[in-house]
Amino acid sequence: MDNLLIKSARIIFPNTPFHGKELDVLLNKGVITKIAKQIERGKDHLDVFDAKGQYLVPGFFDMNVNFGEPGLETKEDILSGSAAALAGGVTGVAVQPNTHPPVHSRSEVALIVNRSAPLPIDVHPIGAISKQREGRELAELYDMKLAGAVAFCDGDRPLQQGGLMSRALLYSKGFGGLIISSPEDVSVAAGGKMNEGPTSTYLGMKGNPNLAEALMVARDLYLAEYNDAPIHFTTISTAESVALIRNAKASGIKVTCDVAAHHLVMTDELIAGFDSNYKVSPPLRTQADVSALLEGLNDGTIDAIVSQHTPHEVEYKNVEYQIAADGVIGLQTLLPLVLEAGLTIDQLVDKLALGPRRVLGLPLPEFKEQAPANFTLLDTGKKWRFDTETNRSKSINSPLMGSELKGKVTMVVNKRQIINTQ
């Protein structure tokens, strides 16, 4: 499809003269050559895509994704992860350093950058804050930044040493680096398997309290303020965290945050069936927390929504809930979950496409003639089944597997490549 004419798409590109209008878009080898109310076909070899009733939006960017490469390719490799991302309308990802070896030096960063270069998705490595993600000694942050790392985080191992976090904030500030905090005080969480509350008491299961997250958010906000450095909190899940970050933003602290899509629609009550596919970290919380997260999205406290895509082989999830690994795959279900949460199309674009790139300091997709296309076509009313036939990940650990979902990505264009995902 070198030459493609997209007919009658509703354009949702804020800060452009085309925003909110129904227009035709002509592409030549992935470059936007014409945007108009009506474009005639003209050439016989021109492919036409009828996008009537669909939205054309900037390509989504997911800033919390786990691909297994290097070392854990049986969970997910860059190729399969990218396929899942494209099926979910995601044209860019920031991948966590939860690999083996971890992404803690220039060589692992360069491997990911080079392996993903030919793919129609922008893959940006997140480097580890500490060597081996052990939380003891700073990794070579500046070297990784030069090699292509967009931020630094110890992934699913929250950084427990306050002194190390303070040094990381101060050091990265000097070269424009961004530290990402996975906020959990593990001594307070104390191995809890689900949210601490009435449901955990009813099930007789050890709980992980909201306090474990809120304490770490409070600590890292103080450290960011002390060092006058930016900080980003990933996958916040509690009402307390939203309130702390809201107040910090109002006081001028350089803080941003994101929330996982599943935390916007799922609660701890779903764990009553002991389905290990609902076991995530941080755990699913209460309806009160869900309401606070949605309020945080509406008032701008929360900057982005992520999938927290965490693939696992079946032997890590098809076991008793207590010993199952944390995490779900989420790249392909990102859009349906956000729609279920009740976000408008403009909110969706801001939190899935623009907000994440702003946080990471990446260029926003352009929508104008002669610009390389980076956009997603989506049908918010289309229903489809998420199952082993439509799943593009190597893993199947999702509570939505086998479900009918509403909201389908129909086409993705990026890096001069066009992918029909219908």
Residues 319 and 260 grouped into a single domain: yes
Same-domain pairing of 49 and 83: no
pLDDT of 373 over the 80 cut: yes
Residue after which a domain boundary falls, among 327, 344, 360: 360
Range of 206's domain?
59-360
Residues 158, 21 within the same domain: no
pTM: 0.97
**Pair 103, 246 in one domain:** yes
pLDDT reported for residue 44: 66
Residues 177 and 102 in one domain: yes
Q: Are residues 266 and 318 in the same domain?
A: yes
Q: Is the pLDDT of residue 216 over 80?
A: yes
Q: Are residues 130 and 209 in the same domain?
A: yes
Pair (154, 215) in one structural domain:
yes
Q: What is the CATH number of the domain that holds 13?
A: 2.30.40.10
What CATH number does residue 97 fall under?
3.20.20.140
68 has a pLDDT exceeding 80: yes
Please state, as a whole number, how many other Cβ atoms lie within 10 Å of the Cβ of residue 211.
14
Pair 16, 81 in one domain? no
One domain, residues 138 and 213: yes
**pLDDT value for 308:** 98
- Report the domain count for the chain: 2
Mark which of 313, 333, 360 sits at the end of a domain. 360
Q: What percent of the chain has pLDDT over 90?
A: 97
Please identify, among 334, 360, 386, the residue that sits at the C-terminal boundary of a domain. 360
Task: Say yes or no: 42 and 70 in one domain.
Answer: no
Domain check: are 36 and 69 in the same one? no
pLDDT tens readout for residues 134-165? 999 999 999 999 999 999 999 999 999 999 99
* Token reading at 346: 């403009």
Provide the pLDDT confidence category of residue 53 given band limits of 50, 70 and 90: very high
